[in-house]
Structures are given as structure tokens and as C-alpha cells.
Amino acid sequence: MYNALILIIEDEPEIADILRGYLDREGFRTVCAADGNTGIAHHLRLKPDLVLLDVKLPGPDGFDVLAAIRRQGETPVIMVTALGEDLDKLQALRIGADDYVVKPFNPLEVVARTKAVLRRTNAALADKVLRVGSLVVDATAHQAYVTSATGNLALDLTRTEFRLLEHMAHFPRRAFERSELVDACLPEGDALERTVDSHMSNLRRKLASAGAGELLSGVRGVGYRLGTVNG
């Protein structure tokens, strides 16, 4: 966490330097942008782990920058601004800010909040890597693979197959009814229970080719289960 890259988007050089100094001292890597357009470009190019974002910026303001960041992904953002009105806070949180610090601030508080948001983010990402036996489903990377002594074998899945596998991987060994899988995973145009059987047949074939065919099985009179009953 402490080697994380922090993007500071702040047009006041003194404040940017203070934040950078305190974060550098804690082992973070930092990069600064003094206006909204540069901040958006840095975010797209550098893919920082967290953004400290002022509201009043030259060019696009902080709310516009936050919206642009949210269109590009889920990078955590802490707003650092002199705007302390509740409506401003609510707007920032509505757009997708993870936290909000009002100027004047204690730099140590900003560092503490940075660490806290990164911890929450890392914990959330860890929850998105699901393991069922030799199967690994990485929701963040949208990838599933089977592990073995010789390495990992990626599964070539359609979007719907991945959704089904990810949904079931959250609840290993649970028996899922077809109707539940339709509601949770299938697009409206494909929302027929009999189509689940077709997707599951393809999944079982692909898992078997990767050496994990036993993980997905049918449950008579119910639907399907991911994971063996005994483990």
C-alpha cells in the first residue's frame, strides 16, 4: 500500500507541495497536476491508486474531473477543498467521491484518510478474487482460470458464462435454481431458463478441458452447483 501512486490535482502550489511532502515521507509515490485537464490526462495515462482532488480548478472543476475519473474507472478519490457546504459534500459523494476533506486541513489527517481509503479499496479488490477448488475467478480483471502444478490455464468465456461462474463462485457448493441464475446473470433478451442449460453445458466443457470438470455439476430437480459437496 505504501508504494501506491497518489495523483494530487491542486492548483495552489504550496498546498500541493505540502501534501506531496507528507505523502512522500510515508513512502507513497506522488505526481501533481495544477488544472483539471492535466489531472484527467494524468489519471488516464498513469492509472494512480488514489486521487486527491481540489474542487476549484482551472479548466474543468473538481466535480467535472471526478465525473471523468468515474467514467474511466473506480479509482478512489478524496476531495480536498475549501468548499465545506453540505450540498458540495453531497454532490461530491453522489458523483462518486470516497471521502471529503475541508481546507484548512491537517496534512496528517489527509495522509490518515488516504491510508484508510486504500485499505478499504484493497479489501474490496481482494473480495473480488474468488476461489473454488482449483478455479480462480478474478472479477476485477474479468478473468477466470484453473490452477495446477504446471501453472494457470485461462478459461475463454463469453460474458454470460463469466457472469454465471462469478455469481456461483460467491456461494460454493450451494445449489442454484435455474430461475435465480436467469435473474442474476442473463441479459433480458436471453432470459429463458432453458438457455441456462446451454451456458452450463459450455462451462462444464471448458472446465473439463482445463482439468476442473468436477467443479460444476447439475442438481436434479433444482439446477446447478459450483464446487464439490465435500470440499
Give backbone dihedrals phi and psi of 30, rounded to 5 degrees, phi first.
Answer: -135, 150
Question: Does the domain spanning 5-127 belong to CATH 3.40.50.2300?
Answer: yes
3 three-state secondary structure: coil
Angle at 102 between CA 98 and CA 105, to 5 degrees: 110
Q: What's the average model confidence in pLDDT over 155-160?
A: 90
Amino acid 11: pLDDT: 95
Task: Please tell me the distance from the alpha carbon of residue 184 to that of residue 76, in angstroms, as a whole number.
Answer: 27
Alpha helices in the chain (DSSP H): 13-25, 36-46, 62-72, 86-95, 107-127, 159-169, 178-185, 193-209
Candidate ranges 82-96, 110-124, 206-220; pick with highest mean pLDDT: 206-220
CATH class label, 129-226? mainly alpha
The residue extents of the domains of the chain are 5-127, 129-226
pLDDT-based confidence at residue 163 (cuts at 50, 70, 90): confident
pLDDT-based confidence at residue 190 (cuts at 50, 70, 90): low
Least confident of 27-41, 117-131, 162-176: 117-131
Question: Does the pLDDT of residue 36 top 60, yes or no?
Answer: yes
Task: Please tell me the distance from the alpha carbon of residue 18 to that of residue 217, in angstroms, as a whole number.
Answer: 58
pTM: 0.58
Q: Name the nearest CA neighbour of 29 among 43, 49, 13, 44.
A: 49
Q: What's the average model confidence in pLDDT over 45-49?
A: 89
Amino acid 151: pLDDT: 83
